[in-house]
Amino acid sequence: MSTNLLRWIPLLPLAGAVLNIFLGGRWGKKFSGGLATVAVLGSFLISLWVFSVLSPTGILRDTLYTWIDSEPFKAQVSFQADALTAVMLLVITGIGFLIHLYSTGYMAHDEGEARYFAYLNLFVFFMSVLVLADNLLLLFVGWEGVGLCSFLLIGFWFEDHANTSAGNKAFIVNRIGDFGFLLGVLLLFWEMNRLGVPTLDFAGLKEAAGRMPQETATLITLLLFVGATGKSAQIPLYVWLPDAMQGPTPVSALIHAATMVTAGVYMTARLNFLFALAPATLSVIAIIGAATALFAGTIAVAQNDIKRVLAYSTVSQLGYMFLAAGVGAFGAAVFHLFTHAFFKACLFLGAGSVIHAMGGEQDMRKMGGLRPRLPITYWTYLIAALALAGIPPTAGFFSKDRILLEAYSSPHGSFGLWLVGWITAGLTAFYMFRQLFMVFHGTSRASESVQAHIHESPPTMTLPLIVLALGSITAGWLARPSHNVWDPWLQAVLGRSNPAEHGEAVNETLLVVLTVGLAVLGIALAYFIYGRARRIAAEDGSLWQVLAHKYYIDELYDALFVRPFTAAANWFARVFDPVFIDGAVNGVADFVRSISSAGRRLQSGNVQHYLFAFLIGTVFIFVYWLRW
Amino acid sequence: MTPAPLEYYLILSAVLFAIGVAGVVIRRDVIVILMSIELMLNAVNLAFIAFSRFLGALDGQVIVFFVMTVAAAEAVVGLAIMISVFRHRQTLDPKDMQLLKW
């Protein structure tokens, strides 16, 4: 089915961004926030319409123009919406809208509001291009665009050097992943051309990919997965995401929790037919996902910055999604993406509300006792934390248990993968409630002046919190075992049957009880350590130190890559460039000058000398004629 | 009295021309250089006249009129330039007129 409405999903936020860039400063604060929010609301309404008219097997198309026409290859700027895209669109524009709304309250005291909303709208534009793209090249445009917006927004408060360097870090680490991604796309195109189908359209890929040799498919998917590890913050490229918390908190919620970081998961799900051809890649993805989930989960336990806990939690949950994708359960991966977007956005916005109330303080050791002062924030935060911990009947329970079940029972799954996921589930519950108790319970550890200032946030900020908290509970019901509407919806795109229909018989109930039991245990442990304590004990065990320093991974990367690279760059700047490059350039110039300074003597400027040369020449010609 | 043979005229013309060339190349005064150029032109005129007389054709004489006209014009323009240069630079030595040299 063809429609012209699809293009407005990205174009409305783009228009908002352009207007805000050029006129936002003139029109004033209220206006730029309102404009951006309305633009995304428009996109959301169109997305709702798309969702309502779309059948699970249907595809909406909207072709704008031909971008590259190089016979036989052709790439169009063409949007398509199928069941998977519709889900992603609802997440991006729906949660995007709530976060825009929240931002109008959160950024009300900020000078650069027009710039902020321009970036945020630009992000929604690129993100919707990413999910709407009907070929890999256009997807790559969105892929790079969201990276750019991420960079711009992390370094939004650029007066502080730490923020800009965090932005640089995110950009550079992402570039490493993007390089792999681009190589994967090029190799894929090369292979498709060899197969006689020179296209990068998803439809064309899906038809012809099956004829690809397995080794090539493995290499291509591994390269594409390198891109996914960069964008979706998996080992070894996850290091940028915790630092990305330097940006404004709504940005962390939208870009670094709910949407952009899921681009890698989306790409994997979108190309599931390709990944399915490469079992080796799937194993790598599953192992990396599980390892990341556990690794980041342990780090989150020892962080004291309210946003960093959530950042590592995001890395960990993204690990879950890749674990699901790696065992071939793309439906479960996208489902966790969907539910995670709700509760993680809710948590980040709640954290933003706390930070807002505490006058910018982010250290949880200086919080405590906020529950009576911030009731709405507290309750929404509690709901989202329960969802993240996977307590029934919240959304996280359904999605996480789906993943753990698949990790155990899928043909690609194993007991080891399930065990890692299971331990992580316990860790998740522990660190989330450690945070909750440290922030909201006990007695306040803030200074007098900060305490006097604590207040609940304005309605523009609490309303999104409430909506997201409701979503954190209900979003999971879409795939509840008794009435599963999720899997039939995505079946046509992700091509996978209901989990109950395959694999060895497992005691599903036992797995669920084990997981929930461990989560409850984690919560109880957090309560006994942090919930009842009057003050937070100093934590300085050696294991704690390792965790608090994030396993010294940043230091390791610094020593392994950053320092050698900087040293090499310095050597090139101080030695190679002046001696060799300048030497070559100046050497050529000196050589020419030394030759020409000899030749210059001929040009004395004295007319008589020229005349004399003229005379000699004439005489020679004359003699020449006379001789022959 | 027999007329002087053609060679005499041509030799005289060649000598005059050589003197003119030497003057142009050697002398350090632009006025003299201009005069030397006139000398070269007149040496050529002499050759034309001589050939005209000995071949019995008038063409050479016509050309001489043209040359004389052009020479007059050239002298006027040249002298005007010289006056202008002298006013600016207080010299007529070609060695000092090297402004266009880098």
Residue A103: φ, ψ to 5°: -65, -35
8 Å CB contact of A607 and B101: no
Same domain, A287 and A267: no
pLDDT, residue A382, reads 94
Same domain, A256 and A293: no
Same domain, A24 and A115: yes
Q: Tell me which chain A residue has its CA closest to the CA of residue B28.
A: A608
| C-alpha distance from B29 to closest chain A C-alpha (Å) | 11
Same domain, A503 and A429: yes
Mutate to test the interface with B, among A608, A616, A619 (most CBs of B within 10 A): A608
User: Which among B25, B101, B102 has CB closest to A608?
Assistant: B25
Q: Does A335 map to a domain? A: yes
| Residues of chain A under the 70 pLDDT cut | 1, 496-506, 533-540, 628
**Structural domain span for residue A117:** 1-62+80-134
| C-alpha distance from A617 to closest chain B C-alpha (Å) | 14
DSSP lists the bridge partners of residue A62 as: A79
Which residues in B lie closer than 8 A to residue A615 (C-beta atoms)?
A: 21, 25
Which residues in B lie closer than 8 A to residue A604 (C-beta atoms)?
A: 98, 101
Q: Does A144 map to a domain? A: no
Same domain, A266 and A290: no
pLDDT, residue A533, reads 63
| C-alpha distance from B99 to closest chain A C-alpha (Å) | 8
DSSP for A142-172, written as a single string: HHHHHHHHHHHHHTSSTTSHHHHHHHHHHHH
pLDDT, residue A504, reads 52
pLDDT, residue A458, reads 87
Residue A575 is which amino acid? V
How much is the pTM?
Answer: 0.80
Q: Does A499 map to a domain? A: yes
Maximum distance among all Cα pairs of chain B, rounded to whole angstroms: 62
Give the integer Cα–Cα distance in Å for A433 and A443.
16
In a 3-state reduction of DSSP, which class is residue A484? strand
Q: Does A438 map to a domain? A: yes
User: Which among A605, A608, A612 has CB closest to B101?
Assistant: A605
Same domain, A462 and A570: no
Which residues in A lie closer than 8 A to residue B98 (C-beta atoms)?
A: 604-606
pLDDT digits (tens, 9 = 90+) for A117-160: 999 999 999 999 999 999 999 999 999 999 999 999 999 999 99
DSSP H helices, A549-600, are 553-557, 563-571, 582-600
8 Å CB contact of A615 and B94: no
Same domain, A104 and A4: yes
Cα atoms in the Cβ-side hemisphere of radius 13 Å centred on A262:
37
Same domain, A305 and A370: yes
Q: Does A174 map to a domain? A: yes
8 Å CB contact of B26 and A608: yes
8 Å CB contact of B94 and A603: no
Give the integer Cα–Cα distance in Å for A126 and A152.
13
8 Å CB contact of B101 and A611: no
Chain B residue set in contact with A, beta carbons under 8 Å: 21, 24-26, 94-95, 97-102
| C-alpha distance from B40 to closest chain A C-alpha (Å) | 13
CA–chain centroid gap for A404, Å, is 23
Give the integer Cα–Cα distance in Å for A151 and A145.
10
Q: How confident is the model at residue B33 (pLDDT cuts 50, 70, 90)?
A: very high
Which of A277, A305, A325 is a domain's end point? A277
Mutate to test the interface with A, among B19, B25, B29 (most CBs of A within 10 A): B25
Q: Tell me which chain B residue has its CA closest to the CA of residue A613.
A: B25
Torsion of CA A15, A18, A23, A29, to 10 degrees: 80
Which residues in B lie closer than 8 A to residue A608 (C-beta atoms)?
A: 24-26, 94-95
Which of A277, A299, A317 is a domain's end point? A277
Number of A/B CB contacts below 8 angstroms equals 26
Which residues in B lie closer than 8 A to residue A614 (C-beta atoms)?
A: none
8 Å CB contact of A604 and B98: yes
Whether residue A460 contacts residue A105, with contact meaning beta carbons closer than 8 Å, is answered with yes
Same domain, A318 and A424: yes
- Tell me the average pLDDT across B52-78: 93
- Residue A449 touches chain B, beta carbons under 8 Å: no
What ipTM describes this predicted complex?
Answer: 0.85
Which residues in A lie closer than 8 A to residue B100 (C-beta atoms)?
A: 605
Q: Does A145 map to a domain? A: no
Same domain, A252 and A363: no
Same domain, A128 and A173: no
Residue recorded with tokens 């630079």:
B89
Residue A76: φ, ψ to 5°: -115, 150
8 Å CB contact of A606 and B98: yes
8 Å CB contact of B101 and A603: yes
Same domain, A95 and A192: no
Which of A505, A539, A573 is a domain's end point? A539
pLDDT, residue A393, reads 86
User: Which among B25, B26, B98 has CB closest to A605?
Assistant: B98
| C-alpha distance from A612 to closest chain B C-alpha (Å) | 6
Whether residue A401 contacts residue A395, with contact meaning beta carbons closer than 8 Å, is answered with no
Tokens of A98: 């709530």
Taking CA atoms, B80 is separated from A283, A535, A568, A606, in Å, by 97, 105, 69, 20
Which residues in B lie closer than 8 A to residue A607 (C-beta atoms)?
A: 94, 97
Q: Does A125 map to a domain? A: yes
How many structural domains does chain A have?
A: 4
Q: Does A292 map to a domain? A: yes
